Structure 1
Amino acid sequence: MLNEPTRPLLGCIADDFTGATDLANMLVRGGMRTVQSIGIPTAEVAGQLDADAIVIALKSRTVPAADAVKESLEALRWLRERGCEQIYFKYCSTFDSTAAGNIGQVSEALLEALDSDFTLACPAFPENGRTVFRGHLFVQDQLLSESGMQHHPLTPMTDANLVRVLQAQTQGKVGLLRHDSVSKGVDSVRTRIEQLRVDGIRMAVADALSDADLYVLGEACAGLPLLTGGSGLALGLPENFRRAGKLRDLDAAQVPAVGGGDVVLAGSASQATNRQVATWLQAGRPAFRVDPLALAVGQSVIEQALAFAADHEQTVLIFATNTPDEVKAVQHELGAERAGHLVEQAMGRIANGLREAGVRRFVVAGGETSGAVVQALGVQLLQIGKQIDPGVPACVSTPGEPLALALKSGNFGGADFFDKALRQLAGVSA
């Protein structure tokens, strides 16, 4: 942090915690000093902010749409009061939502509050295999609806046509900014945007097949008050501010060292996290499974997990990850909302107990799990450090006693992510 605070240039609203970290990671890679706030910053935290970009992490992805809109507008007001020049609404690169929202409703509410008539929607993140073509979202070589996301326990994505998905959530007209225009460069995109505006389009899904496409989109939209997308669309935004002479040449990824014990907590049921858990188990490393059915009947699962960690000198994995079929079976018995709440609450209490036992470095898999953990730990603000894997940086909490965290979206990271994250967090404290 610098002694002379600077007014933030970019204000970001993310609909979950790992999504916020993913976006912050992208901005740091582009040279923007970035901090992530857990919820709207308190007055105490606000006085310590000194960054080029501020990312407010909400837990609004799966709440009722009206609540998501209310929270997002409150975050917008706070960011505008700090003088942010552009607003970014960040959601998942798999466009996680339900038939009732919340991406469309929040985007429209932000547009109206900013008195703007147009924005883009682009979840593409080619580095992690998410691309958009003719308005259809692909995960690697599969349509979104065939990628495993159709089995997501909270936001099953059964339609890859994002124009259709978004239109069902919005009052205004949704259109498409096709790759034909994007591939021809910045001027072509700007011309197409003006044509879409004339046609009464308020939101346009933008095709993007490569990082080069995202840079084009970012530069073309430098003047839009609002942008919406995954973290990938933010690739080109730092350069816009640098081009305007508003960014200083500093090490944006510098964070302080943190010592202490470490742990891996996994609550996601995604395919990527299942692979990561399987890799850990196949290596014969210590792991404790949190069973939501046992939690539901009042068994002492949390105490057992803490005792398990205390009994091992090695780093342990504490996980609630299950296959889609197992998740469905649990949800059938407990209900999806109750099952998720039980696991999140347990992971938060386990994290807090581990901190009391001396753990200071936490690798957490899953957006909802990460949200529960950072709230249980009382984390208010994160300084964003170097990237571990695409979309996942090392972070250090502030104010108070620092904690090192890697908060991973369930869908992100290779099979060896847990080891990579542990090594990098340990390297932070070297």
Structure 2
Amino acid sequence: MLLGVIADDFTGASDIANTIVKGLPGQGGLRTVQYLGVPSAASDPEVEAGVVALKSRSIDAGLAVRQSIDALQWLLEQGCQQIVFKYCSTFDSTPAGNIGPVAEALAEALGVKGVVACPAFPGAGRTVYQGHLFVKDRLLNESGLQNHPLNPMTDADIRRWLRLQTVSDVGHVDISAVQAGPTAIEAALRRHGEENHVLVIVDAVTDDDLVAIGKAVADHRLVTGGSGIAIGLSANFIARGLAKGEGSATVGIDGPEAILAGSCSGATRQQVEIHKKDHPTLAIDVAGVMSGKVATSDLISFLLANLGRAPLVYSSGTPDEVQAIQARFGREKVAHTLDTLFADTARQLIDAGIRRLVVAGGETSGAVVSALDIGALAIGPEIDPGVPVLFSNGDEPVALALKSGNFGAPDFFAKALERLAGR
């Protein structure tokens, strides 16, 4: 294994695995496998990039550090020459972590400083300019992410936000240095390392900027960022003759289907509204779930009764609706109860013969795949930017699409089911 990735949630893991598989146009990427948690056995020797998916974004920072260090140790045992810590392209975190504590712990374990921190993903509208994170034409804290139910992002200056989470000061490489090319970027990172800056926010507004950053860090042991930071990393290994540049898996899995949506993002809510025009949908009564009046069996009955029609169940709500429910029942209790509901539903769906499953929302996806315990996932074709098809192995393989809440085109749900089937 050449490249190892530690991802702080399951949709993010799929996102960066997709980036690594694609590589640069005309060059291809690395043969990539996504692991659901830290594996207990060695990887297949044919795997060139391994992505360890953790559910560590919103847990206690100390626990997130321990899980990430465990993942690092396993990846190093597989022979990885470079490690990527992948977090959300909207920098989802709190003033207490978990991006800063995990990144600093990984850097200390690897003995490095001047480490890139770049969440930019221009293909999805995320750019970093003068240390500020934008979502399309809006500052992060004006993009709707300030209303995130778990990690409200109230400051677009990610240097300042990250500094709240770190022991060391945070450096910055601005866009002029980035656009001067890889040599200038590497020199700037070296200077920050000499100044004892462990983490360095690096501007990027285009994919070309990310490719330049990728070239600059070809020999760096650790890189951190969103999935965009990996755009140029596969090419480094291919250029050295260490990888072949093979593409993704192209098989499809047809069969019974279901869609579970637990994200409250604006993009997911729009996707739900479009899907419900032509397909059966069921809005989950969250208050009913919390009081015990709505159970897993209600969701299962609806989904199985509508097989062949792309049925969808969802708990998505507006920021005001979410805040009202959280105020009534408690934020953590609501999140845990819904995660359990979706996890139990997914497990029973697979037992009932569902073979195509689409899941929206990072926390929801993490709960679902943890419950399914389906091992390593092969990376298939891209559905929409940042969202690939995933295939499990075994006697009864399953095709999955795990979508971060803000990702995907308006018609994502129906399109995803077609892609899972290989159509």
User: Per the shorter chain, which TM-score range?
Assistant: over 0.9
1:148 equivalenced with 2:144 (yes/no) = yes
**Match for residue 319 of structure 2 among 299, 321, 324:** 324
- Structure 1 contact 288–318 (Cα < 8 Å) conserved: yes
Instruction: Give the match for residue 40 of structure 2.
Output: 42
Q: Which amino acid aligns with 1:32?
A: L
Q: Match for 2:125 among 125, 129, 133?
A: 129
The residue that corresponds to 1:366 in the other structure is 361
Map residues 14-93 of structure 1 onto 2, 5 A cutoff: 14-30=7-23, 31-43=29-41, 46=42, 48=44, 50-93=46-89
**Aligned AA (2:66):** K
| Per-residue deviation, 1:259 | 2.9
Instruction: Summarize the Cα distance change of 1:42–1:255 in structure 2 as closer, same or farther, 3 Å threshold.
Output: farther
* Rounded Cα–Cα distance in structure 2 between residues aligned with 1:392 and 1:142: 23
Q: Which residue of 1 aligns with 2:174?
A: 178
Aligned partners of 2:315 and 2:278: how far apart in 1? Answer: 17
Match of 1:35, as an amino acid?
A: V
Q: Is the 8 A contact 2:215 2:232 kept in 1?
A: yes
Specify the alignment match of 2:265 in structure 1.
Answer: 270
| Aligned residue among 302, 306, 322 for 2:300 | 306
Tell whether the 8 Å contact from 2:115 to 2:189 is kept in structure 1 after alignment. Answer: no
Residues in 1 aligned to 2:100 and 2:420: alpha-carbon distance in whole angstroms:
36
Amino acid at match of 1:288: L
Q: Equivalents in 2 of 1:165, 1:26: separation in Å?
A: 26
Structure 1 residue runs without a partner (length 5+): 1-7
Distance 1:257 1:200 in 2: 49
| Secondary structure, aligned partner of 1:201 | coil
Residue correspondence of structure 1 range 27-426 to structure 2 within 5 A: 27-30=20-23, 31-43=29-41, 46=42, 48=44, 50-250=46-246, 252-281=247-276, 283-313=277-307, 314-426=309-421
Contact 1:381–1:399, Cα closer than 8 Å, also in 2: no
Q: Which amino acid aligns with 1:267?
A: G
Per the normalisation by structure 2, the TM-score is 0.96
1:269-319 per-position Cα deviation (integer Å, ceiling 9, x unaligned): 1111111011112x1420112222111111243111111122224120011
Does the aligned pair in 2 maintain the 1:292–1:342 contact within 8 Å?
Answer: no
Unpaired segments ≥5 residues, structure 2 = 24-28
Identity %, equivalent residues: 48
Number of aligned residue pairs: 417
CA contact (8 A) 1:90 1:231 kept: yes
Tell me the CA shift for residue 37 of structure 1.
Answer: 0.3
SS in 1 for 2:421: helix
What secondary structure is seen at the aligned counterpart in 2 of 1:109? helix
RMSD after superposition: 1.2
What secondary structure does 1:187 align onto?
helix
Q: Is the 8 A contact 1:255 1:396 kept in 2?
A: no
SS of the residue aligned with 2:97?
coil
The change in CA–CA distance for 1:400 and 1:63 in structure 2 (over 3 A counts) is farther
| 1:10 maps onto 2:3 in alignment | yes
